[in-house]
Amino acid sequence: MNKRTLLLALFLLALSGLLLHYRIHNFMVPDTMNPGKLRFDNTKFLSFLFPLIDVVLVTALFMSRKTAVYGYLLNGIIVIYGTVLMGHFSIAELITKSAPLEDWFLRSTLPDIGIAWGDFFAGKALYDIIMRE
C-alpha cells in the first residue's frame, strides 16, 4: 500500500467519525426557552472537537516526515480517549437499561470504537512507511 492511499484512508476514517459524532451529538440543540431556535451546547461540542482535530490536524501532521511522529502520537491519544469515553457512556447506558447481551454488541459504541482503532492502525501503517523512507 502506498503513502497516499493510507493518508486518504486515515482522512476518510476520521471524517466518518466526525460525521457520526455530529449526527449523534449535534451541538446545536433546540432551545426550550425559545421554541424554534437553536442554542449552542458546549458539552456536545467537546465530543465533536476530538474528531475535528483528527480530520484537520492529524491529517496535516502526517503530510510531512518531520511532523509525522506528532500525528501518530496525537492520533493514538485521540483513539485512546475516544475508546475510554465511548466505552464508558455505552456501558453506563446499557447497565441502566439491563440490556440483553446482543445489545452490548449491536446497540453499543463497540462499532464506533472499531472505526477509531481502524483509524489508528491506518495511521500506524502510514507512520511506518514514512519512517522507512
pLDDT, one tens digit per residue, over 39-97 is 999 888 888 999 999 999 999 999 999 999 999 999 999 999 999 999 998 888 777 77
pLDDT value for 77 = 97
pLDDT value for 92 = 82
Main-chain phi, psi angles of 28, to 5 degrees: -105, 105
Binning pLDDT at 50, 70 and 90, where does residue 131 land? very high
CA distance 14 to 67: 18
Q: What is the mean pLDDT of the chain?
A: 91
Q: For residue 14, which amino acid is it?
A: A
CA distance 72 to 105: 28
pLDDT beyond 90 at 25? no
pLDDT value for 72 = 98
What 3-state DSSP class applies to 67? coil
pLDDT beyond 80 at 98? no
How long a stretch of residues is the chain? 133
Residue 46 near residue 25, CB atoms below 8 Å = no
The pTM score is 0.87
Rg (C-alpha) for the chain, rounded Å, is 17
CA distance 115 to 4: 20
